[in-house]
Amino acid sequence: MISAFFIFNQKGEVLISRLYRTDFKRSIADVFRIQVVSNSDVRSPIITLGSTSFFHVRINNLYVVAVTKCNANAALVFEFCYRFINIAKSYFGKIDEESVKNNFVLIYELIDEINDFGYPQNSEIDTLKSYITTESIVSSAIAAEESSKITTQATGATSWRRGDVKYKKNEAFVDVVETVNLSMSAKGNVLRADVDGHIQMRAYLSGTPECKFGLNDKLVIDKGERGISDAVELDDCHFHQCVRLHDFDATRTITFIPPDGEFELMRYRSTSNVKLPLRIIPTVTEIGTTQVSYVVTAKANFNNKLSATNVVLRIPTPLNTTTVDCKVANGKAKYVPAENVIIWKIPRIQGGQECTFSGTANLTSMTTRQVWARPPIDVDFQVLMFTASGLIVRFLKVFEKSNYQSVKWVRYLTKASGSYQIRF
Amino acid sequence: MAQAGQDAKFFQRGKIEEFRAELQAAETKDKKFIKRKTALKKIVANITMGNDMSPLFTDVVQCLGTPLLEIKKMVYLFLVSYGRSKPDQIHLVIPNFLQDCNDRNPLIRALAIRTMSYIPIPVVTDALTENLRHCLKDRDPYVRKTAAICVAKLYSADPRRAEKGGFVEMLRDLMLDSNATVVANAVAALSEIGDRHDGVIFKLNLATANKLLAALGESSEWGQIYILDSLLRFVPEKHADAEVMAERIIVQLQHANSAVVLTTIKALLYLMNYMENRRLIDYCCKKMGPPLVTLLSSGPEVQYVALRNILLIIQRRPAVLKNDVKVFFCKYNDPIYVKLAKLEIMYRLARAENASEVLAELQEYASEVDIDFVRKAVRSIGRLAIKVEAAADNCIQALLTLIETKVTYVVQEAVIVIKDIFRRYPGKYEGIIPTLCENMDSLDEPESKAAMVWILGQFSDRIDNADELLDDLLYTFLDESVEVQLALLTAAVKLFIYKSKSDTAKELVHKVLKWATEEVDNPDLRDRGFMYWRMLAVNPAVAGEIVLAEKPAITTDSDRMDRGALDQLLLHTGTLGSIYHKNPETFIRNATGKALTDSPALNPHSRAALVPLPRAQLPPTEINVPGPGPAEPRVLEPELPVPAFSPPAATKPSPPIPSSPGGLKDTDTASSDHDDGDDEPIGAPDPYSNMDGAFGNYLQDEPRPMAVQNHSARQGDIDDLLF
List all residues 6 or more positions away from A406 whose beta carbon is below 8 Å from its beta carbon.
A170, A171, A172, A205, A209, A398
B142, closest residue in chain A (CA to CA): A151
Residue B559 pLDDT: 67
Residue B697 pLDDT: 44
**Considering B519, B548, B577, which residue would you say is the last residue of a domain?**
B548
φ, ψ of residue B557 to 5 degrees: the values are -65, -30
- Return the higher-pLDDT residue of A229 and A404: A404
Collapsing DSSP to helix, strand or coil, A307 comes out as: strand
Mean pLDDT (whole number) for B105-118: 94
- For residue A91, the chain B residues in CB contact (below 8 A) are 1-2
> Using one digit for the tens of pLDDT, what is the confidence trace for B364-411?
999 888 999 999 999 999 999 999 999 999 999 999 999 998 889 999
**Considering B398, B425, B452, which residue would you say is the last residue of a domain?**
B425
Best interface-test mutation with A: which of B305, B342, B354, B586 has the largest number of A CBs within 10 A?
Answer: B305
Contact B4 A102 (CB under 8 A): yes
* B540 and B471 inside one domain: yes
Residue B642 within any structural domain of the chain: no
Q: Please return the burial class of A96, using the count of CB atoms within 10 Å of its CB with bins 0-12, 13-18 and 19+.
A: middle
- For residue A376, the chain B residues in CB contact (below 8 A) are 332
A–B interface: beta-carbon pairs under 8 A: 355
pLDDT above 90 covers a percentage of chain B that reads 65
Residue B252 pLDDT: 95
- For residue B293, the chain A residues in CB contact (below 8 A) are 235-236, 269
When CB atoms are compared, the residue of B152, B329, B722 closest to A192 is B329
DSSP string across B622-644: P----SSS-SSTTS--TTS---B
- Rounded CA separation B135/B139 (Å): 8
Collapsing DSSP to helix, strand or coil, A339 comes out as: helix
Residue A368 pLDDT: 65
* B579 and B500 inside one domain: no
> Using one digit for the tens of pLDDT, what is the confidence trace for B48-79?
999 999 999 999 999 988 888 889 999 999 99
Q: Which of A75-79, A217-221, B475-479 is least confident?
A: A217-221
What is the band of B695 on the pLDDT scale with cuts at 50, 70, 90?
A: very low
Structural domains in chain A?
4-123 (3.30.450.60), 171-274+387-422 (2.60.40.1170), 278-384 (2.60.40.1170)
B291, closest residue in chain A (CA to CA): A236
Whether the model clears a pTM of 0.90, i.e. scores above it, the answer is no
* Pairing between β-strand A341-350 and β-strand A307-316 as defined by DSSP bridges: antiparallel
Q: Which residue segment(s) compose the domain that B482 sits in? A: 443-548
Contact B703 A92 (CB under 8 A): no
When CB atoms are compared, the residue of A99, A148, A423 closest to B4 is A99
φ, ψ of residue B416 to 5 degrees: the values are -60, -45
Q: Which of A117-121, A142-146, B204-208, B691-695 is least confident?
A: B691-695
What is the band of B483 on the pLDDT scale with cuts at 50, 70, 90?
A: very high
- Rounded CA separation A129/B645 (Å): 40
Best interface-test mutation with A: which of B216, B332, B343, B376 has the largest number of A CBs within 10 A?
Answer: B332
* B210 and B308 inside one domain: yes
- Rounded CA separation B718/A51 (Å): 10
CA dihedral defined by B526, B527, B530, B535, rounded to 10 degrees?
-140
Q: Is the pLDDT of residue B663 over 70?
A: no
Residues in chain A: 424
CA dihedral defined by B250, B252, B253, B259, rounded to 10 degrees?
-130
Residue B363 within any structural domain of the chain: yes
* B224 and B291 inside one domain: yes
Residue A249 pLDDT: 85
Q: Is B143 part of the contact surface with chain A (CB cutoff 8 Å)? A: yes
B284, closest residue in chain A (CA to CA): A221
Cβ pair A180, A276 in contact under 8 A: yes
Best interface-test mutation with A: which of B13, B77, B105 has the largest number of A CBs within 10 A?
Answer: B105
List all residues 6 or more positions away from A313 whose beta carbon is below 8 Å from its beta carbon.
A280, A296, A298, A342, A343, A344, A345, A346, A357, A377, A378, A379
DSSP state of B5: P
Mean pLDDT (whole number) for A320-346: 94
- For residue A177, the chain B residues in CB contact (below 8 A) are none
Best interface-test mutation with B: which of A119, A183, A267 has the largest number of B CBs within 10 A?
Answer: A119
* 3-state DSSP of B322-355: CCCHHHHCCCCCCCHHHHHHHHHHHHHHCCCCCH
Mean pLDDT of chain A: 90
B283, closest residue in chain A (CA to CA): A221
Q: Please return the burial class of B39, using the count of CB atoms within 10 Å of its CB with bins 0-12, 13-18 and 19+.
A: buried
Residue B396 within any structural domain of the chain: yes
Q: Is the pLDDT of residue B539 over 90?
A: no
**Considering B394, B425, B456, which residue would you say is the last residue of a domain?**
B425
A140, closest residue in chain B (CA to CA): B67
CA dihedral defined by B10, B12, B13, B18, rounded to 10 degrees?
-40
B590, closest residue in chain A (CA to CA): A70
- Rounded CA separation A414/A424 (Å): 24
- Rounded CA separation B182/A219 (Å): 35
Residue B364 within any structural domain of the chain: yes
Contact B140 A151 (CB under 8 A): yes
- Return the higher-pLDDT residue of A140 and B254: B254
Number of domains in chain B: 3
Give the distance from residue B3's alpha carbon to the nearest chain A alpha carbon, in angstroms: 7
Strand partners, A421: A183, A378
Number of H helices, E strands in chain A: 7, 24
- For residue B106, the chain A residues in CB contact (below 8 A) are 144, 147-148, 151
pLDDT above 90 covers a percentage of chain A that reads 68
DSSP state of A236: E
- Rounded CA separation B187/B172 (Å): 8
- Rounded CA separation A298/A283 (Å): 12
What is the band of B334 on the pLDDT scale with cuts at 50, 70, 90?
A: very high
Contact B721 A31 (CB under 8 A): yes
Give the distance from residue A220's alpha carbon to the nearest chain B alpha carbon, in angstroms: 11
What is the band of B25 on the pLDDT scale with cuts at 50, 70, 90?
A: confident
Contact B706 A138 (CB under 8 A): no
Best interface-test mutation with B: which of A79, A109, A180, A244 has the largest number of B CBs within 10 A?
Answer: A79
- Return the higher-pLDDT residue of B627 and B546: B546
Mean pLDDT (whole number) for A348-367: 91
Cβ pair A58, A96 in contact under 8 A: no
Strand partners, B314: none
Q: Measured at the alpha carbon of residue B564, what is the angle toward residues B560 and B566, in degrees to the nearest 5?
A: 55
Collapsing DSSP to helix, strand or coil, A373 comes out as: coil
* B236 and B300 inside one domain: yes
- For residue A46, the chain B residues in CB contact (below 8 A) are 301, 304, 576, 579, 703
Q: Which of residues 228-287 of B touch A (CB under 8 A)?
A: 229, 250-252, 254-259, 261-263, 286-287
Cβ pair B338, B296 in contact under 8 A: no
> Using one digit for the tens of pLDDT, what is the confidence trace for A124-177?
888 888 888 766 555 555 566 778 888 888 887 778 887 788 999 999 999 999
- Rounded CA separation A259/A239 (Å): 13
Residue A182 pLDDT: 94
Mean pLDDT of chain B: 84
Residue B585 within any structural domain of the chain: yes
Give the distance from residue A397's alpha carbon to the nearest chain B alpha carbon, in angstroms: 22
* B527 and B592 inside one domain: no
Strand partners, A383: A308, A414
Q: Is B7 part of the contact surface with chain A (CB cutoff 8 Å)? A: yes
Give the distance from residue B68's alpha carbon to the nearest chain A alpha carbon, in angstroms: 4
* B583 and B507 inside one domain: no
- For residue B113, the chain A residues in CB contact (below 8 A) are none
Q: Report the candidate in B423, B489, B413 with the shortest Cα–Cα distance to residue B459.
A: B423
Residue A351 pLDDT: 94
- Rounded CA separation A61/A94 (Å): 12
- Rounded CA separation B482/B505 (Å): 22
- Return the higher-pLDDT residue of B194 and A253: B194
Contact B576 A68 (CB under 8 A): yes
* Pairing between β-strand A354-363 and β-strand A321-328 as defined by DSSP bridges: antiparallel
A375, closest residue in chain B (CA to CA): B332
- For residue B162, the chain A residues in CB contact (below 8 A) are none
* B285 and B334 inside one domain: no
Give the distance from residue B149's alpha carbon to the nearest chain A alpha carbon, in angstroms: 7
Q: Is the pLDDT of residue B105 over 60?
A: yes
- For residue A151, the chain B residues in CB contact (below 8 A) are 106-107, 110, 140-143
Residue B47 within any structural domain of the chain: no
- Rounded CA separation A373/B364 (Å): 9
Q: Which of residues 198-217 of B touch A (CB under 8 A)?
A: 217
> Using one digit for the tens of pLDDT, what is the confidence trace for B192-243?
999 998 888 899 999 999 999 999 988 999 999 999 999 999 999 999 999 9
Contact A71 B305 (CB under 8 A): no
> Using one digit for the tens of pLDDT, what is the confidence trace for B282-296?
999 999 999 999 999
* B289 and B388 inside one domain: no
Contact A139 B105 (CB under 8 A): yes
Q: Which of A18-22, B524-528, B663-667 is least confident?
A: B663-667
Q: Is the pLDDT of residue A57 over 60?
A: yes
Strand partners, A327: A358
Residue B297 within any structural domain of the chain: yes
φ, ψ of residue B209 to 5 degrees: the values are -55, -40
- Rounded CA separation A47/B336 (Å): 15
B32, closest residue in chain A (CA to CA): A136
* B543 and B447 inside one domain: yes
- For residue A271, the chain B residues in CB contact (below 8 A) are 327
Q: Please return the burial class of B680, using the count of CB atoms within 10 Å of its CB with bins 0-12, 13-18 and 19+.
A: exposed
- For residue A40, the chain B residues in CB contact (below 8 A) are none
First-residue to last-residue Cα distance in chain A: 47
- For residue B146, the chain A residues in CB contact (below 8 A) are 116
Residue B249 within any structural domain of the chain: yes
Long-range CB contact pairs, B528-535, < 8 A, 24+: B528/B486, B528/B489, B528/B490, B529/B489, B532/B489, B532/B490, B532/B493
Contact B106 A221 (CB under 8 A): no
Mean pLDDT (whole number) for B347-357: 94
- Rounded CA separation B189/A51 (Å): 21
Cβ pair A346, A298 in contact under 8 A: yes
First-residue to last-residue Cα distance in chain B: 39
Strand partners, A315: A342
The count of other CB atoms within 10 Å of the CB of residue B646 is 19
* B263 and B308 inside one domain: yes
Strand partners, A344: A313, A333
Give the distance from residue B479's alpha carbon to the nearest chain A alpha carbon, in angstroms: 31
- Rounded CA separation A198/A179 (Å): 9
Q: Report the candidate in A171, A244, A210, A175 with the shortest Cα–Cα distance to residue A391.
A: A175
- Return the higher-pLDDT residue of B321 and B654: B321
Residue B701 pLDDT: 64
* B415 and B480 inside one domain: no
Cβ pair B525, B489 in contact under 8 A: yes
